[in-house]
Amino acid sequence: KARVAVLISGTGTNMAALLYAAKATDCPYEIVLVASNNPDAGGLKLAEAEGIATFAHPHKGLSREEHDGIMHEALIAAKTEFVALAGYMRILSSGFVEKWEGRMLNIHPSLLPKYKGLHTHERAIEAGDSHGGCSVHLVTAELDDGPILGQTPVAILPGDTADSLAARVLIAEHQLYSRCLAVFVGRETSPDHLVAQVRERALSLPEAD
């Protein structure tokens, strides 16, 4: 099975969804590590109780590169092949992204390319969109960019608040992430080929202003 590490900062419900899906005997991945920049992240306790190795190191007082270096060492020590960001609320250094390029996925609570960054549900409601949703994508140097592996639209209801919409989108996230991860790691394409594809795409993007 493919060895997946999950990075979290908070509650970790997406991590839990990935972990429970991994219990199916035909799941092509296993979770080998749950790591966090927040030692108090609720998800760490859940992972521990499920017998998964955990690692936490606060980022306070460290440069982005230093903290990412520590996380990278933990990933390597766990013989990680793929990284799943699941509510990991840190912007990653370009060095870290490069090391995991083509092997690192993220889930984002919007229908990308709409609403990169924070407050996605609020922005979708304010814009009068008919749907919010979630996207799973490969991580590239650009924030919430990178090839999209899957998306689920979620209808916005009259009277929805950012919280009520977020709660429904989260249900969709849990299903989408485990499915996308399973399909992605199960692909016959070698990781090296994927890295090449991601690089090619990054190079073909117009320069940012």
Active site members: 108
Q: Binding segment for ligand GAR among 10-18, 52-60, 149-157, 187-195 (CB under 6 A)?
A: 10-18
Between helix 42-49 and helix 13-21 the angle, nearest 10°, is: 20
- The reply, when asked if residue 38 is annotated as ligand binding, is no
Task: For the CB of residue 124, give the shortest distance to ligand GAR in the complex, in Å.
Answer: 13
Nearest-angstrom CA–CA distance, 136 and 85: 10
Is 89 annotated to bind a ligand? Reply is: yes
Binding of ligand GAR by 13 (CB under 6 A): yes
String marking each residue 170-209 x if it binds ligand GAR according to CB under 6 A: x--x------------------------------------
Does the footprint of ligand GAR cover residue 140 (CB under 6 A)? no
Neighbours of 136 (CB within 10 A): 26
Q: How far apart are CA 135 and CA 68, in angstroms?
A: 24
- The region that residue 146 occupies, defined by phi over 0 for left and psi between -120 and 50 for alpha, beta otherwise, is left
Q: Does 149 interact with ligand GAR (rule: CB under 6 A)?
A: no
Collapsing DSSP to helix, strand or coil, 88 comes out as coil
109 is a contact residue toward ligand GAR (CB under 6 A):
yes
Residue 15 labelled as part of a binding site: no
- Joined tokens for residue 135: 């996207």
Strand runs (DSSP E) across the chain, as ranges?
A: 2-8, 29-36, 54-56, 82-85, 104-108, 131-138, 148-155
User: Between residues 13 and 54, which has the closer beta carbon with respect to ligand GAR?
Assistant: 13
CB-nearer residue toward ligand GAR: 8 or 78:
8
Stretch that binds ligand GAR, among 9-17, 59-67, 68-76, 156-164 (CB under 6 A): 9-17
153 is a site residue for ligand GAR (CB under 6 A): no
Q: Is 9 left (phi over 0), alpha (psi -120 to 50) or beta?
A: alpha
Residue 133 in contact with ligand GAR, rule: CB under 6 A = no
Can you tell me the distance from the alpha carbon of 199 to that of 53, in angstroms, rounded to the nearest whole number?
32
Kindly report the backbone phi and psi dihedral angles of residue 90, in degrees, each rounded to the nearest multiple of 5, phi listed first: -125, 140
Chain residues binding ligand GAR by CB under 6 A are 8, 10-14, 86-87, 107-109, 170, 173
Residues tagged in the binding site annotation for (6R)-10-formyltetrahydrofolate: 64, 89-92, 106
